[in-house]
Chains A and B, each alone.
Chain A
Amino acid sequence: MQVAVPGPWSPLFGRLTLAAIPYDNPILVATFAGVAVVGLVVVAAVLYYKKLGYLWREWLTTVDHKKIGVMYVILGLVMLLRGFADALMIRTQQAMAIGPNSPGVLGAQHGYLPPFHFDQVYSAHGTAMILFAATPILTGLTNIVVPLQIGARDMAFPYMNALSLWLTVAGAALVMISLFVGDFSAAGWVGLIPLTELPYSPGVGVDYWMWAIQISSIGTTLNAINMIVTIIKMRAPGMGWFRLPVFTWTTLSTNIIGLTAFPVLGVALALLGADRYLGAHFYTAGNGGNLMLYTNLFWIWGHPEVYFLVLPAFGIMSEIIPTFSEKPLFGYTTMVAATFAIAGISWAVWLHHFFTMAAGPDVNGFFSIATMLVGIPTGVKVFNWMFTLYRGRLTFATPMLWCLYGLFLLLAGGITGMMLAIPAINYTVHNSVFVIAHFHCMVLLVVTAIFAAVAYWFPKVFGFALNETLGRGFFWTFSTATTITFLAMFALGFEGETRRLDYIYDPAWRPMLWTEEFGIALYCVSLVYFVLMLYVSLRDRVPAAADPWHSARTLEFLTPSPVPFYNFAVTPEVNARDELAWRRQHGLEHARPEAFEPIHMPSNSGLSFITGMCALAMGFGLIWRIWWLAGAGLLGIVLVVIIRSFDKNLGYEIQPAEVAAMEEDLSLGGIIAEQPKRAPLTEAEAH
């Protein structure tokens, strides 16, 4: 059954040989040296401060939704940095390799990247940004915020929540390993078929891409199940459907999309795997394969994925804009309806990614109109936000600045999206950088919402706010960089530049390409601001109040900052849609429960982390065709699931006196604090 692959193969190491280590590529060697030094410093610091036990007990084995969320966000930020490094390389290559007389260095004929390396860079850029940066960060934010917003102690399935995280980490780790062991896919982040088939991509690059996505998307699917059940089953008393904060509504809709879309991606990639590993003919260029089958399956996931990203971003904006306008959100019900309308339409538009498939005017017409329909609920949302701002008492804190810039990006991206929805225009600009500029406006809208959310909820989680001055510096440099880079890219699209070019054949594009390069340099400045902001905020640690913005409206700001690990000492009763605003209006926002009660919490478990590592081993084994390792990884996963099912741990209880102490001294229960060892409940105590 085993398909013949070129190159040597041994039972012990599979396709892995020393030649897979790219020690002859100076860029990768330098990157590896940088990563190794940073990694060693981190490991040395952990050992020097004797934090290894703390790291294991409080983070790697945690089932706390806030810690899991924070780790998701950290993972996403690391991958965002990786994706940004790729972007910097792409832009620099295009700025250098203009015209036949442009010089080439480091083995490239033009610029500094040979075509095969350049192709890997843009493939990795898309994969890292969409699947390993934006998706985990948004998953992390929903993880942190939603249980707090609905008045719950944790997610419905805390252990599965940790499992989702570690599967995502395993996928991201494979993307990073591909830098230094073997190579990454050179067939675009969408996996251009039949380029991803074995005859055309005989290396391990496509396998890295495929298994990294496959493993992490299982994590995303599990997280979607968890989130939907949490929102349906874990709401505090009084939290009826039409009192749910809009962010929770968007999280619900986005996870319905995730639950139904990610399995299709899994199948699209699994069938590609059948082609590459078993010699099947699903997508091959001959023997009855069908290329468009892959493209359709991929985008049946791919387009809902776009809304999977953008809906939580809309939710974030719907939380922040009312807070800093000191007004309730305008048109709450229409906002909810618009959210679900967008989620519904997301299933009927996938073909607009390849109008040029030539399915005929009737099919293209259907998908064109369906795509334009998206503009209606989105327009409703934009007007709702603007009416919320209208005659509000506006404060321009950094989260608000990010959201307002997000509105401009939504306008630019939305209007160009409507243009692209018209097949006649689409045929003209298909595969040009005009499309790239359009969807970068949309995903950067997601990124601005993410930075807004990080600034907005950071004090809630950690108990101190991010530095406002440096945050503004970060905002202005980042937004200016975005505007410059992508305005230039729109222009280049109209001038006819196609995407994925490693060599620029028309010197007339030089001014705009150099403008883009200037924009990317400005992004580098914004990165400095970001790091400085983190450093200064961590150094100063100015304590934040329970409601650091003094005008927040939703339940999460009822808890003290930092939030204790049990969230609410006593479950709150919800009386109004904007519960905190309602309590403030009635002078009740400082009311505390009269007495504390024992709190039942789940115990930490290392098994989810071990499962993630087994998945990593399995993925690595499959990529290099080391069958024993792949088999051992799979067996490990099955065994851990079975072992876990025999676990009789019933969780533990925190006694009222301890709760009172932690409510008094917030540092005792905060996210950084190390908890004392608490004995699990016995069978007799549980009854």
Chain B
Amino acid sequence: MSTQAAPGAAPRLFHPHFAGHDQISARTLGFWLYMLSDALIFAAVFAAYAVLNNRMGAAGGPIAPQVTNPLEGLWQTYAVLGSVATYSLGTVALKSGNKAGVMLGIILAIALALVFLGFEAHDLLGLMARGDGVTRSGYLSAFIILIATHGLHMVFGIIWMLVMLVQIPTLGFSANVVARLLNLRMFWQFQATIWVVIYVYVYMIGAF
């Protein structure tokens, strides 16, 4: 941790052809930081859920045991974890430069993510159909917005995957494409992690 060059040594003043860090490492760090900010978004929404998850917040309407279905949520958990697994297996094919393998992994991941979103849509539309939408109570607002915030992230992940399905055949495994595939994997695993937290915190604890 010396703060000054050693005396007597001929100082080097310039560093020609300094390459610096490679772009992928900077982008990966940047993406980790983005996910930190995203984690803060979820933390704040979870805090709102915790504050409104009581009889006062329910305002006479349904509370967690009446709106959450842990069994249905378990299928959703399988779907989202399966989606992460297929995507990750796809990136194994990335090592050998196998375009078809990567794309197959992504297509399966999209399919499973759609299954997940289908369950979720069914869940939320069912609530609204019986008049338990966000307008019903503070608790239902928090529940629905929490689920929807996560669902919206999943939708953007699917759009990102669709773009990658076009870019892999057209651009090949260029540095940019590889960086995007790796960041997308982090994003996808992060959303699955958030879902697991939602499942434990909202569905499992809520069922009792």
Interface, chain A (partner B; CB < 8 A): 1, 152, 156-157, 221, 224-226, 228-229, 232-234, 236-238, 240, 242-243, 259-260, 262-264, 266-268, 271, 274-275, 278-282, 284, 286-290, 293, 297, 300, 332, 570-573, 575-577, 582-583, 586, 588, 591, 593-595, 597, 638, 642, 645-646, 648
Report which of A278, A288, A593, A648 forms a contact with B14, defined as CB distance below 8 A.
Answer: A593
A284: chain B residues at CB < 8 Å are 138
B18 lies within 8 A of A571 (CB): yes
A297 lies within 8 A of B47 (CB): yes
B122 at the interface (CB under 8 A from A): no
Report which of B12, B13, B21, B180 forms a contact with A233, defined as CB distance below 8 A.
Answer: B21
A288 lies within 8 A of B33 (CB): no
B56: chain A residues at CB < 8 Å are 288, 290
B12 lies within 8 A of A575 (CB): yes
B167: chain A residues at CB < 8 Å are 645-646
Interface residues of B in 13-51 (CB under 8 A from A): 13-18, 20-21, 25-27, 29-30, 33-34, 36-38, 40-41, 43-45, 47-48, 51
Q: Which of B3-11, B71-79, B97-105 contacts A (4 or more CB under 8 A)?
A: B3-11
B15 lies within 8 A of A237 (CB): yes
B68 at the interface (CB under 8 A from A): no
A268 to B137, CA, bound (A): 18
A263 to B41, CA, bound (A): 5
- In the complex formed, the residue of A with least CB distance to B40 is A263
B180 lies within 8 A of A645 (CB): yes
B16 lies within 8 A of A281 (CB): no
Interface, chain B (partner A; CB < 8 A): 1, 3-5, 11-18, 20-21, 25-27, 29-30, 33-34, 36-38, 40-41, 43-45, 47-48, 51-52, 56-59, 61, 133-142, 144-145, 159, 163, 167, 171, 176, 180
A229 lies within 8 A of B141 (CB): no
- In the complex formed, the residue of A with least CB distance to B17 is A597
B37 lies within 8 A of A221 (CB): yes
A572 lies within 8 A of B33 (CB): no
- In the complex formed, the residue of A with least CB distance to B44 is A267
A242 lies within 8 A of B141 (CB): no
Report which of B3, B17, B137 forms a contact with A577, defined as CB distance below 8 A.
Answer: B3
- In the complex formed, the residue of B with least CB distance to A570 is B14
A544 to B123, CA, bound (A): 67
Most chain A CB atoms below 10 A, which of B1, B18, B57, B133: B18
- In the complex formed, the residue of B with least CB distance to A300 is B44
A297 lies within 8 A of B48 (CB): yes
B137 lies within 8 A of A597 (CB): no
A293 to B59, CA, bound (A): 16
B136: chain A residues at CB < 8 Å are 281, 287
B14 lies within 8 A of A573 (CB): yes
A229 lies within 8 A of B33 (CB): yes
A260 lies within 8 A of B40 (CB): yes
B44 lies within 8 A of A264 (CB): yes
The 5 closest A-B pairs by CB, nearest first: A288-B138, A288-B59, A280-B141, A267-B44, A571-B18
Most chain A CB atoms below 10 A, which of B5, B33, B134: B33
B14 lies within 8 A of A242 (CB): no
A282: chain B residues at CB < 8 Å are 48, 52, 138, 141-142, 145
- Minimum C-beta distance from B192 to chain A (A): 20
B44 lies within 8 A of A287 (CB): no
A233: chain B residues at CB < 8 Å are 20-21, 25-26, 29
A229 lies within 8 A of B16 (CB): no
Contacts A271-B145, A576-B3 aside, 18 further interface pairs with beta carbons under 8 A come to: A152-B20, A221-B37, A225-B37, A233-B20, A240-B1, A242-B1, A242-B3, A267-B41, A278-B135, A280-B134, A287-B137, A287-B138, A297-B44, A571-B16, A575-B5, A575-B13, A597-B16, A645-B163
Return 14 A-B CB contacts under 8 Å, by A number: A156-B26, A157-B27, A225-B33, A263-B38, A274-B141, A279-B134, A287-B136, A288-B56, A288-B59, A288-B61, A573-B12, A573-B15, A576-B3, A576-B5
